[in-house]
Structure 1
Amino acid sequence: MKKQRPVNLDLTTISMPATAKASIFHRVTGVALFFALTFVIWAWSESLSSAEGFEFVKGLFNGFIAKFIAWGTVSVLGYHLIGGIRHMIMDMGHWEELESGNLSAKIAMALGVVFAVLAGVWIWF
């Protein structure tokens, strides 16, 4: 019996719905947060070790790379929080229909972009 299924599935040709994109992005931001925490924990530990350590971390945050890492971390945290709240609301039985699920996913992604822009303004200016 020959099965009619794709042998080489090209993922770039598949159009995913907004719900799938939001869910995948939520997982990716979770992994990014895990790795970003190494920088956050190091900076926290260093700044609490001594007055010199605090001044070192304070001076480090005036640099471009540290500000970029901080902006990325805050942006990822914001979207992950928004996506997590969306998932909790869905766990309570709301937004489970196709139309409302797609709308909530689009709103969550849009709020994530707005949060990233606001975080950028807060960190960079």
Structure 2
Amino acid sequence: MKKQRPVNLDLTTISMPAAAKASIFHRVTGVALFFALTFVIWAWSESLSSAEGFEFVKDLFSGFIAKFIAWGTISVLAYHLIGGVRHIIMDMGHWEELGSGNLSAKIAMALGVVAAVLAGVWIWC
């Protein structure tokens, strides 16, 4: 039996609610954290290997690229934690309705932006 239903392959015309965007962003930050942890683990390993290694990592973190990577890592970690807490609260049966779910998603994304700004101020100032 062949189904004759419309197929929309243009993703730019699909309007997702805030809860969907927050959930997708939570997954994206999880993947970003996976790759960012390679940099973090390398920096910890190098800094703990010797006094020269510690000085090397310390000098490396004075550069723009390393600060940018550190800012990105802290920002995605902050949002991932905020989104994770939101998902845990939803698993407990709260904020599951459409209105409260979208509101909690908007608040989580706003807190993520605030955390990213605060992380930037902390790293560059």
Q: Give the alignment's TM-score, normalised by structure 2.
A: 0.97
| Consecutive aligned runs of 4 or more in structure 1 exceeding 4 Å deviation | none
Aligned to 2:61: 61
Name whichever of 94-103 and 3-12 sits farther off.
3-12
Mean alpha-carbon deviation: is it higher for 2-11 or for 102-111? Answer: 2-11
- SS of the aligned residue for 1:76 comes to helix
1:41 maps onto 2:41 in alignment: yes
CA distance in 2, matches of 1:82, 1:16: 20
Give 1:4 deviation, angstroms.
Answer: 3.0
**CA–CA distance in structure 1, aligned partners of residues 5 and 53 of structure 2:** 59
In 1, distance between residues paired with 2:10 and 2:27?
A: 21
- Cα deviation, residue 6, structure 1: 3.6
Deviations 1:21-50 (A, max 9, x none): 000000000000000000000000000000
Structure 1: distance between partners of 2:95 and 2:22: 14
Instruction: Choose 3-12 or 45-54, whichever is displaced more.
Output: 3-12
Q: CA deviation at 1:8?
A: 5.2
Work out whether 1:5 is the aligned partner of 2:5: yes
TM-score by length of 1: 0.97
Q: How large is the RMSD of aligned CA atoms in angstroms? A: 1.0
Separation in 1, partners of 2:30, 2:58: 27
Structure 1 position 60, deviation (Å):
0.2
CA displacement 1:36-83 (0-9 Å, x = unmatched): 000000000000000000000000000000000000000000000000
What per-residue deviation string (whole Å, max 9, x for no partner) do you get for residues 80-122 of structure 1? 0000000000000000000000000000000000000000000
User: In 2, Cα distance between the equivalents of 1:17 and 1:2?
Assistant: 31
Identical amino acids, percent of aligned pairs: 92
Q: Could you tell me which residue of structure 1 aligns to residue 102 of structure 2?
A: 102
Q: Which moved more, 1:53-62 or 1:4-13?
A: 4-13
Q: Report deviation, 1:12.
A: 1.0
1:30 maps to 2:57: no
Give the drift of 1:9.
1.2
Count of aligned pairs between the two proteins: 125
